[in-house]
Structure 1
């Protein structure tokens, strides 16, 4: 049987009554498919429904073939060993016991045909850049990016025919991303991937778009999907303009019909008043005129109603993807003002650096996983002490961490912002949150119920709306949890930010949108680069 994912009449509603899908139907066959959609559209929820972690309210999800799944929020117990994460620990223990002379049948059953389990593991780990990772090593010794690759290796060792990947390039440096791209390119079964990584999305065979609880399939890469969408929206705009013109024309014709009717009424009344014709004749003419006028008016009213229906249909075809707006004058810093000064500082990992940042600067931090980008930002923010040297921050500073642990999950978005801006009144907070697309009841959502992208947007809003307003913003891999539309919106929002930025990211296309003024790479020392 050919591997596939069959989704039939899938309906899913959260326990609080919020609907996600209603009667979703589509099939994903062999090949590489990107699952795209705005944050909150249900992408990760759909993957969890496919894996069985969630149960549909109605309908079915069927997977033909063995299933592998790499979640977005992969968490591994630091004390677990690498072979345990790979799912081969029991086989290795049985093999070691047999090699020591044990003859228990259960040991041979545990080994099966997998006598070369270590070699098989290495054949999977090494191409992913994990050749230095020993199978007996604890997971806690791995970086975040290495943990993601290890999770992927564990799935590949199980040889699934259907593989689900949720934001697999999060926390991966450039070299690790390239290895993941090679894995995706070589995949021969069903691959369904959620990602904001454009390079990865250019490797897919088709795009499945989730929007308003429905799914549409587009053949080709993400660029081809964007081109098809742009052509569709251009046609929708033309249809909208034509429908608007038709409504205006029908309104004019209806108004003309009313004028003609009024003229006939006045003429009939004049004839009646002057009694120029027999009373019976005038009464019949009046009746016929009223019938004719009524039909004429009804015809134009029907045409106007039809034109309005076509306009409503045309308006529905136009995508209104809201945009984050950042307009915070208090964050402005004069270009000549120094906002950060670091002298002879040594991080806990031994990296040494000197750094000055001035107003309006955009500084990008690059480097492989483990070179200290997150440690550097945490040190600049005062969360970690420097081993030596001095760090002087001359303006209000905020850090947007990679783990997005700034907010309290049990509080609403409004309540979280109020914690950071206690002097702001309720109306001010809500007006400002509306700029981050949290309007009305949406601002009352508990943070713990938000999607990854919504949580990021809420965290960014809370930090930027905090008092005092931050004039230096430190961002650690800010695009990790965002869909492509949100990445674009974030770039536009930060381009309007009037303070200084220091951004650690592997996402070069995103960094280029920020107007980076200085590029710094970390490999134990600071070096200026231009990628």
Structure 2
């Protein structure tokens, strides 16, 4: 039986009535398909519609084959275990009772004696060597993400549905997911902005305000096609702008010719050289001709304006987001940060950071590297004063900005403009709007509440508020900045950091992002 997912004339709107999908038609076969799109374009909603967690307003979802969806939030209850996540607790309890001789005869018919081995194999396939009774609360975020993926594998579906499967994973975890997808022989529909993972795709589907577009091949092939489309759209826009200009010029010339003829007609009537009946007939013909010409010019102008609007809309969709970071003027020889024999952490008896010394000079770019749990975020908190070191000294000698994964510097209930003014007391409303506009929050967008933003918008707003300060910070500290950005947001952040002349310290497991950052050195923790 053929395996497929088919969406026919699918429509869905947000709870406030805003249309997200309208008459969407897509099909997926037994291949690996990446779903791309800007934050808010409906990527996760699309997966929920396919999985049946959401019902379309109209249209149809047809599925042939078994399907399993990876859950992002795996913590349902504090006492939940791996067995609960996998949905096999009762089945494993039955095996335990059977081995103890406590199971009823009719229960034994339902016993799956291969289950423990299959659970263990699924966990090992995702790089986890833990027991099924392990509490989820004792696992790190990355381990829980791996466990969630393993639970999907155990189901042995024809289709995997994965929503950002490499988020919160360290380097080893990312490589485990990428290897799994590389060897997956069934169908997979994967929402992701991880370019390394997207290179393993057989096809890419991009969601935009113009609809859904399908591209054959992996991310590199998709990016090449998009660049070609952007060039063509730019040419279309230039042609449309010229057409509008030419149409306006012709309308002006026609209006000037008519004005000259009308003036000549009025002078002739004043002289009375011709019979009145002829003069009236000539004026009637001129007025009729002028009215028809005006209607034709209006129609041409309307067509030209519509063509230009369409061309601009396409450019807006295709053009990567820009983030403009102001200059800091940091001198190459200036000492930015000095750590001397620093130890610290949350457990006084077992400090995760031990006797660390470090000096940052000038606009250095430094990566804090290490597996999950090695103390990377703890180190950033020691540097910024959120945690007091148990011993040693921290000297931070320049203005800095810290953006954690959750952008904690923003107050969710306040507008972006008010957040900016709170974080930058010397700024006025005009400066706030200008700074937010440099990061894509123009006009009314600056009045949106921070709590209403998507993850990528949230980070972008945090960058605008932190880097729009006067003077701008000379040290930028980023903790997993690409985790919640869409691809356009990552591209914009990379371009902004390339132009930033301050020092950068970053935690990231995104290999493509780190290659773009071109760090001067790495500090390895947990070795």
Question: Which band: TM-score by shorter chain?
Answer: 0.7 to 0.9
1:118 equivalenced with 2:121 (yes/no): no
Contact residue 7 and residue 24 of structure 2 kept, 8 A: yes
Q: 2:15: which partner in 1? A: 15
Q: 2:347: which partner in 1? A: none
Q: 1:214: which partner in 2? A: 211
Q: 1:499: which partner in 2? A: 502
In the alignment, the residues of structure 2 paired with residue 427 and residue 293 of structure 1 have an alpha-carbon distance, to the nearest angstrom, of 48
| Bigger Cα displacement from structure 2, 240-249 vs 186-195 | 240-249
Q: Using the TM superposition, give the Cα deviation of residue 277 of structure 1 relative to its aligned residue in structure 2, in angstroms.
A: 5.3
Q: How does 1:19-30 map to 2 (within 5 A)?
A: 19-30=19-30
Q: 1:378 aligns with which of 352, 377, 381?
A: 381
Q: Using the TM superposition, give the Cα deviation of residue 198 of structure 1 relative to its aligned residue in structure 2, in angstroms.
A: 1.0
In the alignment, the residues of structure 2 paired with residue 140 and residue 57 of structure 1 have an alpha-carbon distance, to the nearest angstrom, of 37
1:388 equivalenced with 2:391 (yes/no): yes
SS state of the match for residue 212, structure 2? strand
Q: Which runs of 5+ in 2 are unaligned?
A: 345-350
Q: 2:519: which partner in 1? A: 516
1:137 equivalenced with 2:140 (yes/no): no
| Bigger Cα displacement from structure 2, 229-238 vs 406-415 | 406-415
Q: 1:313: which partner in 2? A: 310
Q: Using the TM superposition, give the Cα deviation of residue 167 of structure 1 relative to its aligned residue in structure 2, in angstroms.
A: 1.2
Q: How does 1:276-291 map to 2 (within 5 A)?
A: 280-281=277-278, 283-291=280-288
Contact residue 381 and residue 398 of structure 1 kept, 8 A: no
Contact residue 320 and residue 488 of structure 2 kept, 8 A: no
1:153 equivalenced with 2:150 (yes/no): yes
In the alignment, the residues of structure 2 paired with residue 238 and residue 324 of structure 1 have an alpha-carbon distance, to the nearest angstrom, of 20
Q: 2:483: which partner in 1? A: 480
In the alignment, the residues of structure 2 paired with residue 442 and residue 403 of structure 1 have an alpha-carbon distance, to the nearest angstrom, of 20
Q: 1:185: which partner in 2? A: 182
Contact residue 174 and residue 368 of structure 1 kept, 8 A: yes
In the alignment, the residues of structure 2 paired with residue 159 and residue 100 of structure 1 have an alpha-carbon distance, to the nearest angstrom, of 29
Q: Using the TM superposition, give the Cα deviation of residue 155 of structure 1 relative to its aligned residue in structure 2, in angstroms.
A: 1.0
Deviations 1:22-79 (A, max 9, x none): 3433233321111111112121233233334444444454544333222445547565
In the alignment, the residues of structure 2 paired with residue 488 and residue 26 of structure 1 have an alpha-carbon distance, to the nearest angstrom, of 27
Cα 1:52/1:415, change in 2 over 3 Å: farther
Q: 2:159: which partner in 1? A: 162
Contact residue 95 and residue 107 of structure 1 kept, 8 A: no
Cα 1:412/1:15, change in 2 over 3 Å: farther
In the alignment, the residues of structure 1 paired with residue 2 and residue 273 of structure 2 have an alpha-carbon distance, to the nearest angstrom, of 89
Contact residue 162 and residue 190 of structure 1 kept, 8 A: yes
Q: 1:429 aligns with which of 418, 427, 432?
A: 432
Q: 1:171: which partner in 2? A: 168
Deviations 1:127-179 (A, max 9, x none): 3222x323333334433222211110011101222222111111223332222
The normalised TM-score by structure 1 is: 0.86
In the alignment, the residues of structure 1 paired with residue 511 and residue 489 of structure 2 have an alpha-carbon distance, to the nearest angstrom, of 16
In the alignment, the residues of structure 2 paired with residue 70 and residue 80 of structure 1 have an alpha-carbon distance, to the nearest angstrom, of 17
Deviations 1:234-268 (A, max 9, x none): 22222333333333333343344344434544554
Q: How does 1:335-374 map to 2 (within 5 A)?
A: 335-347=332-344, 348-349=351-352, 351-374=354-377
In the alignment, the residues of structure 2 paired with residue 469 and residue 39 of structure 1 have an alpha-carbon distance, to the nearest angstrom, of 27
In the alignment, the residues of structure 2 paired with residue 417 and residue 18 of structure 1 have an alpha-carbon distance, to the nearest angstrom, of 28
The normalised TM-score by structure 2 is: 0.87
Contact residue 22 and residue 213 of structure 1 kept, 8 A: no
Q: Using the TM superposition, give the Cα deviation of residue 125 of structure 1 relative to its aligned residue in structure 2, in angstroms.
A: 2.0
Q: 1:45: which partner in 2? A: 45
Q: 2:403 aligns with which of 400, 403, 421?
A: 400
Q: Using the TM superposition, give the Cα deviation of residue 296 of structure 1 relative to its aligned residue in structure 2, in angstroms.
A: 5.1
Deviations 1:1-36 (A, max 9, x none): 544333344433333444433343323332111111
In the alignment, the residues of structure 1 paired with residue 399 and residue 260 of structure 2 have an alpha-carbon distance, to the nearest angstrom, of 73
In the alignment, the residues of structure 1 paired with residue 322 and residue 282 of structure 2 have an alpha-carbon distance, to the nearest angstrom, of 64
Deviations 1:373-430 (A, max 9, x none): 2222222223334443322222334432234444343444344444433554444333
Q: Using the TM superposition, give the Cα deviation of residue 285 of structure 1 relative to its aligned residue in structure 2, in angstroms.
A: 4.7
Contact residue 12 and residue 21 of structure 1 kept, 8 A: yes
Q: 1:529: which partner in 2? A: none
Q: Which runs of 5+ in 1 are unaligned?
A: 525-531
Deviations 1:318-369 (A, max 9, x none): 235473434445x543322212111222352255422111232211122333
Q: Using the TM superposition, give the Cα deviation of residue 478 of structure 1 relative to its aligned residue in structure 2, in angstroms.
A: 0.8
In the alignment, the residues of structure 2 paired with residue 385 and residue 109 of structure 1 have an alpha-carbon distance, to the nearest angstrom, of 60
Cα 1:460/1:234, change in 2 over 3 Å: closer
SS state of the match for residue 253, structure 1? helix
Deviations 1:60-105 (A, max 9, x none): 5454433322244554756533333333332222212211222414
Contact residue 90 and residue 110 of structure 1 kept, 8 A: no
Contact residue 351 and residue 372 of structure 1 kept, 8 A: no
